[in-house]
Amino acid sequence: MSADNVRLSEEQRNRYWAKTRNLTIIALVIWFIFSLVIPWNAGALNSISFLGFPLGYYMIAQGSLIVFVATIFWHNWAQDKVDDEFGLGEE
């Protein structure tokens, strides 16, 4: 059955959007932390060394990018699970 033919009840639709909203909020919180909070605190983080680099420098130069890519893959995987749970996934 394709996703176009699936009819969700009002309760199912509300649960689906609640789960989707929660996933999006989690992804945005991760983005906020690694794009704003960590750079604001880079000076304090520089007292810690990671792979021979000051941690603040590493997180701004490379660490945040790794987290962003991982977040994209995680969000896609989790949303696919939610879609499948409600019969809206692609086959």
Q: Looking at the domain assignment, is residue 63 inside a domain? A: yes
pLDDT recorded at residue 60? 87
Residue 68 lies inside a defined structural domain of this protein? yes
Which structural domain range is residue 23 located in? 10-85
Residue 7 phi, psi dihedral angles, 5° rounding: -115, 120
Other beta carbons less than 10 A from residue 1's beta carbon: 7
pLDDT tier at 5, thresholds 50, 70, 90: low
Asked if residue 76 belongs to a domain, the reply is: yes
- Both tokens of 21, joined, read 């909203």
Q: Report the domain count for the chain.
A: 1
DSSP code string of 41-66: THHHHTTSEETTEEHHHHIIIIIHHH
- List all residues 6 or more positions away from 4 whose beta carbon is below 8 Å from its beta carbon: none
What does the pLDDT look like over 6-49, one tens digit per residue? 788 999 999 999 999 999 999 999 999 999 998 898 889 899 99
Q: Please report whether residue 91 resides in a domain.
A: no
Asked whether residue 80 carries a pLDDT value surpassing 60, the answer given is yes
